[in-house]
């Protein structure tokens, strides 16, 4: 009789490497590792050998970079989704597409369970598991860090020793370092001095994707971008895929110290956590999109879209991607993006994105209306009647208060 199969979300790090022999020892599973490539870069080097060495029967390395960009990042950019005014959802956006691919591999392999290495204090356990429940409610979910009666390891030293006991000699040491999560959109940093909000981040040691604004070049750099229906199409005159545009913007933004955010955020599980996010390309892309959007959206639509953009960010942060509410808000956003087409120009300088002009065939800006000279569509005399009606509630209340004071 063949063993039950479990699909392990495998990063190649110490935690998920130790989980492989642990799953075999405690549950007698056949372990199939699945590493989802969302743009981690060199972090994927040597994964296959490590997974097999640790006892996995198979390793999938699934490149989903373009799917991640087109189907998850772009909707968030269109929505202007920013969590708590700062966080551009780098980790949050990636989790549903990872969960989706894990389910697909589990179905392909006939697995009965999916295992992840997210901790019991973080948001990722929620994001992974909500995605799996929405797509495959019949699959079991194994979360070792919550199974404290079976998962007894509580430190990197213990995990390394456990691996050694199972004949796995790995290139990890027990030295503490930042806890990081990386994909094409961003890299997050937690731990060490960041655990104390009173401490300034050690940017010289911390930054991976770029430099601090102080170390950025003294010369500004101009950038032009075009969008069609809210989707980025060209960068500096060159047509590219969204993933290629983000890659180029990461290099430009990192060079000029763009997109470094130090935030104390409210996790879904109820605690506050402090982290530093580097999102150089994403910060530029979001700013460029908003720069064009303010030219073409009418006031009422823009106002509602801002509110729904905040709601969209909350939905994504909480792992509720595969829900009717996310689909409904995204449908509204897509309608607002029909005419977000045009070109934006800006310059990058020491952490700043400085507007340098924008054009659109659908621009609602009218120079004759906005200028101080009188245009055909605007009669200054009309303003008096408008103000009288617009201010009527204030005037009525003030008159009533005067009566009462007498």
| pLDDT by position in tens, the chain (length 406) | 689 999 999 998 889 999 999 999 999 999 999 999 999 987 777 788 889 889 999 999 999 999 999 999 999 999 999 999 999 999 999 999 999 999 999 999 999 999 999 999 999 999 999 999 999 999 999 999 999 999 999 888 899 999 999 988 877 766 668 989 999 999 999 999 999 999 999 999 999 999 999 999 999 999 999 999 999 999 999 999 999 999 999 999 999 999 999 999 999 999 999 999 999 999 999 999 999 999 999 999 999 999 999 999 999 999 999 999 999 999 999 999 999 999 999 999 999 999 999 999 999 998 777 766 666 788 888 999 999 999 999 999 999 999 999 8
Q: What is the distance between the alpha carbons of residues 221 and 346, in angstroms, rounded to a whole number?
A: 8
The catalytic position among 57, 179, 212, 273 is 179
- Helix (H) or strand (E) holding 393, with range, is helix 392-405
- Annotation says 92 is catalytic: no
The catalytic position among 11, 15, 92, 101 is 15
- Calculate the alpha carbon distances from 164 to 10, 25, 33, 171 in Å: 19, 14, 20, 11
Strands 187-190 and 272-278: antiparallel
> Considering the entire predicted model, what is its pTM?
0.94
Q: What is the distance between the alpha carbons of residues 27 and 85, in angstroms, rounded to a whole number?
A: 44
The catalytic position among 11, 54, 92, 95 is 95
- Annotation says 95 is catalytic: yes
Compute φ and ψ for 356, nearest 5 degrees. -135, 25
- Per-residue DSSP letters for 259-323? -EEEEEEE-TTS-EEEEEEE-HHHHHHHHHHHHHHHHHS-HHHHHHHHHHHHHHHHHHHTT--SS
Residues 6+ apart with CB under 8 A from 218: none
What does the pLDDT read at residue 176? 63
Residues 6+ apart with CB under 8 A from 257: 210, 211, 212, 213, 214, 215, 216, 350, 351
Compute φ and ψ for 341, nearest 5 degrees. -130, 135
- Annotation says 124 is catalytic: yes
The catalytic position among 124, 127, 181, 274 is 124
User: Do 266 and 272 touch, CB atoms closer than 8 A?
Assistant: yes
Q: Which pair of tokens denotes residue 344?
A: 């934006």
For the beta sheet containing 260-266, the strands, ordered from the edge strand earlier in sequence to the opposite edge, are 179-182, 187-190, 272-278, 260-266
β-pair partners for 115: 8, 142
The residue to which tokens 């130790």 are assigned = 18
Q: How many residues does the chain have?
A: 406
- Annotation says 179 is catalytic: yes
Q: What is the distance between the alpha carbons of residues 313 and 370, in angstroms, rounded to a whole number?
A: 33
């Amino acid at each position: 009789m063949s063993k039950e199969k479990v699909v392990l979300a495998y990063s190649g790090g110490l935690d998920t490497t130790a989980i492989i022999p642990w799953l075999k020892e405690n549950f007698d599973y056949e372990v199939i590792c699945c590493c989802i490539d969302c743009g981690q870069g060199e972090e994927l080097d040597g994964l296959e050998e490590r997974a097999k060495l640790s006892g996995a029967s198979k390793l999938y390395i699934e490149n989903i970079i373009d799917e991640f960009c087109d189907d998850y990042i772009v909707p968030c950019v269109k929505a202007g989704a920013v969590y708590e005014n700062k966080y551009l959802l780098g980790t949050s956006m990636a989790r549903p597409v990872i969960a989706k691919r894990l389910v697909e591999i589990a179905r392909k392999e006939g697995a009965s369970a999916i295992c992840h290495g997210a901790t019991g204090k973080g948001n990722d356990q929620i994001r992974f598991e909500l995605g799996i429940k929405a797509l495959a409610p019949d699959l079991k979910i194994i979360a070792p860090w919550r199974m404290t009666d079976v998962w007894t390891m509580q430190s990197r030293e213990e995990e390394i020793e456990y691996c050694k006991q199972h004949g796995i000699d790995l290139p990890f040491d027990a030295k503490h370092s930042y806890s990081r999560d990386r994909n094409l959109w961003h890299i997050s940093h937690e731990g060490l001095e960041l655990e104390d909000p009173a401490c300034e981040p050690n940017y010289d040691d911390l930054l991976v994707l770029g430099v601090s604004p102080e170390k950025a070049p003294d010369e500004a750099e101009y950038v032009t971008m075009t969008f069609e229906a809210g989707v980025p199409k060209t960068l500096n005159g060159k047509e590219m895929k969204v993933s290629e545009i983000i890659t180029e913007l990461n290099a430009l933004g990192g060079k000029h110290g763009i997109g470094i955010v130090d935030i104390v955020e409210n996790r879904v599980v109820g605690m506050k956590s402090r982290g530093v996010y580097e999102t150089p390309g994403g910060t530029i892309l979001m700013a460029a999109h908003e720069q064009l959007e303010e030219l073409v959206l009418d006031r009422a639509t823009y106002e509602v879209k801002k509110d729904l953009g905040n709601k969209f960010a909350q939905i994504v942060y909480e792992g509720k991607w595969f829900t009717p509410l996310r689909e409904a808000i995204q449908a509204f956003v897509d309608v607002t993006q029909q005419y977000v087409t045009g070109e934006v120009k800006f310059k990058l300088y020491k952490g700043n994105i400085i507007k340098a002009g924008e054009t659109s065939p659908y621009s609602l800006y009218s120079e004759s209306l906005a200028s101080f000279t009188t245009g055909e569509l605007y009669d200054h005399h009309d303003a008096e009647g408008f103000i009288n009606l617009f201010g009527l509630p204030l005037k009525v209340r003030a008159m009533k208060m005067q009566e009462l004071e007498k």
